Structures are given as C-alpha cells and as structure tokens.
C-alpha cells in the first residue's frame, strides 16, 4: 500500500503539527547519520523548535562546531553556492514549473498542427487557418522533410546487407560434409584391411616355415637311416675289394628334398 501524498503546507492544527515535527525530526537525523556513514563525509544538524528549550545538535556539539568551522574556512561564494532560503526555493520551483509548462504546450501545439497537416493531405481546406497556424505548419513540414532527408542519407551510407545463403546451398554443403566423412571412413577401413592382410600373410609364412622345418629334418633323418641300411646290405653282398662301386653312383643327396633316382 502506497503512502498518501502529503500536501506541503503549514499545518494549522497544533497537535498534528507537533506530532509531525517529532516524526520527521527523527527521520531527518537518521538520514543525516546514514549519509555520513555511507559516503564518509562530515555532516551535522542543528534543529531549533518551540517545543524544546535547547536546540538539538547532531552528532554532538563538538562535531557540529568542527563542521561549521570547516564551512567558515571556505570562500563566501562557495559557502552560499547551494544555500537557499524559502523565497529562493519557491522561485526555483516556479521557474521549473514554467519550463515544464512551455514544453508541454510546445508538444501539444506540434500534435495539433500534425492533425491539421493530415487533414490537408486528404483534401480539407486550410482557408480557416491564421497566420500563426500557417507559420507553425510550415515549421512542422520543414522539420519532417529534414528528418526524411536525414533518414535517406543514413540508409544510403549503410552498406547493403549480405545475402543469406539459400536452402539449396546449405543442403549441398551438408551433403558434401557427409560424403567427405564417408570417404574418410572408407579410407580408414581400407588401411585397416591392408594391415590385417599383411599381418595374415606374415603369419601364414611363419606357420609354413615352422611346418616345413620339422618335415625336412625328419626326411633327412629317414634318408640317412635308409642309406646306412643299404650300405650294410651291400657290404654283405660284396665283401672285399671286388664290390660294385657303381651302385652308389646314381644317388645324390639334397638337403631340401628326399632321395632322387
């Protein structure tokens, strides 16, 4: 709930005026203390009232004297720079109100002439206008023309917006990215398959060598045993110097194969 706006005028009722004084004096001293604490500045307040014999001084008598002494040390022009009395305060308020009134009257006059200009555009006559109205309308037309020219200049100086890419180009770009991704994946798979084939070939050769080595040793061992038996049989058949040496001539030993005839 918002507080009711108080009319700034002298309170004629004695009891109401006394109650207002006590309440607002307490609030004023509180604000002065907050201002001094928050902003770190030196402040003081001296309040005379008909309800108290002695004036009330904040924050203390020594603090008020220190603040007043600092004020007196300043030049006289600076001392009264922002000081106002009741008359000067009211004069400032009146001047501000007059300026606001002139501003509002100027805005209302501009809106009125704008409506008259629009009615003239649709064919309504302007013969009933006075000299002042015509001057105001001419000023308003010149103002609108200047604003339009300024807007045209700003648009001409502004660089043209870049054309947004079409949907088709976006689709083509997306398809190219997908195809590139698939090609990279296929190349990666081919490299993987090549490595696997190379590893399989190496493993196959290694297994083949491991398989042939014991078979070759076994064949050599068997052939060696067979040769010994053959020699023994020949010794029994051809004893002495007259044995047939040509029986061993057709045979040849191959370390990589069996005996050949």
- Write down the pLDDT at residue 28: 94
Token duo for residue 48: 């005379």
Give the SS3 label for residue 48.
coil
220 in a structural domain: no
The answer to whether residues 93 and 66 belong to one domain is: no
241 in a structural domain: no
For the full predicted model, state whether its pTM sits above 0.85: no
Instruction: Tell me how many domains the chain contains.
Output: 2
- Write down the pLDDT at residue 62: 92
7 in a structural domain: no
- Write down the pLDDT at residue 253: 43
- Write down the pLDDT at residue 191: 67
The answer to whether residues 74 and 114 belong to one domain is: no
Burial class (CB in 10 A: 0-12, 13-18, 19+), 113: buried
Structural domain including 38 reads 14-83
The answer to whether residues 92 and 33 belong to one domain is: no
Please report, for the domain that includes residue 31, its CATH number.
Answer: 3.40.1810.10
Report phi then psi at 189, rounded to 5: -65, -40
- Write down the pLDDT at residue 6: 78
23 in a structural domain: yes
243 in a structural domain: no
- Write down the pLDDT at residue 163: 52
Question: Along the chain (261 residues), what's the average pLDDT of each consecutive run of 10 residues?
Answer: 76 92 93 94 92 90 91 84 82 93 93 86 80 86 89 82 60 74 68 63 63 53 56 49 45 43 39
Q: 202, 210 in Cβ contact below 8 A?
A: no
- Write down the pLDDT at residue 43: 92
* Last residue within a domain, chosen from 40, 60, 83: 83
The answer to whether residues 66 and 103 belong to one domain is: no
47 in a structural domain: yes
The answer to whether residues 71 and 125 belong to one domain is: no
The answer to whether residues 149 and 90 belong to one domain is: yes
Token duo for residue 47: 């309040």
The answer to whether residues 18 and 69 belong to one domain is: yes
Give the SS3 label for residue 256.
coil
How many residues are given for the chain?
A: 261
- Write down the pLDDT at residue 58: 92
What is d(CA 146, CA 93) in angstroms, rounded to the nearest whole number?
36
- Write down the pLDDT at residue 25: 93
- Write down the pLDDT at residue 176: 75
What is d(CA 34, CA 31) in angstroms, rounded to the nearest whole number?
5
- Write down the pLDDT at residue 192: 65
219 in a structural domain: no
- Write down the pLDDT at residue 88: 84
- Write down the pLDDT at residue 81: 78
- Identify the H or E element spanning 93: helix 86-121
- Write down the pLDDT at residue 2: 67
* Last residue within a domain, chosen from 133, 156, 179: 156
* Last residue within a domain, chosen from 156, 176, 197: 156
What is d(CA 58, CA 68) in angstroms, rounded to the nearest whole number?
12
118 in a structural domain: yes
- Write down the pLDDT at residue 177: 76
């Amino acid at each position: 709930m918002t507080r009711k706006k108080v009319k700034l005028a002298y309170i004629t009722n004695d009891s109401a005026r006394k109650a207002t004084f006590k309440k607002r004096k307490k609030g004023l001293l509180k604000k002065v203390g907050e201002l001094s604490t928050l902003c770190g500045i030196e402040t003081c307040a001296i309040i005379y009232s008909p309800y108290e014999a002695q004036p009330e001084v904040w924050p203390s008598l020594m603090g008020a004297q220190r603040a007043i002494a600092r004020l007196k040390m300043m030049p006289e022009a600076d001392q009264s720079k922002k000081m106002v009395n009741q008359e000067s305060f009211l004069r400032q308020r009146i001047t501000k109100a007059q300026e606001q009134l002139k501003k509002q009257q100027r805005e209302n006059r501009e809106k009125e002439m704008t409506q008259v200009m629009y009615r003239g555009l649709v064919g309504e006559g302007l013969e009933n206008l006075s000299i002042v109205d015509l001057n105001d309308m001419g000023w308003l037309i010149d103002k609108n023309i200047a604003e339009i020219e300024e807007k045209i200049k700003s648009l001409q100086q502004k660089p043209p917006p870049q054309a947004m890419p079409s949907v088709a180009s976006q689709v083509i770009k997306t398809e190219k990215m997908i195809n590139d991704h698939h090609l990279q994946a296929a190349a990666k798979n081919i490299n993987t398959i090549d490595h696997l084939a190379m590893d399989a070939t190496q493993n196959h050769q290694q297994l083949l060598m491991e398989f042939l080595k014991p078979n070759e040793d076994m064949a050599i061992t068997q052939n060696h045993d067979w040769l010994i038996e053959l020699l023994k049989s020949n010794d029994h058949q051809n004893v002495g110097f007259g044995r047939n040496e040509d029986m061993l001539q057709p045979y040849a030993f191959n370390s990589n194969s069996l005996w050949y005839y």
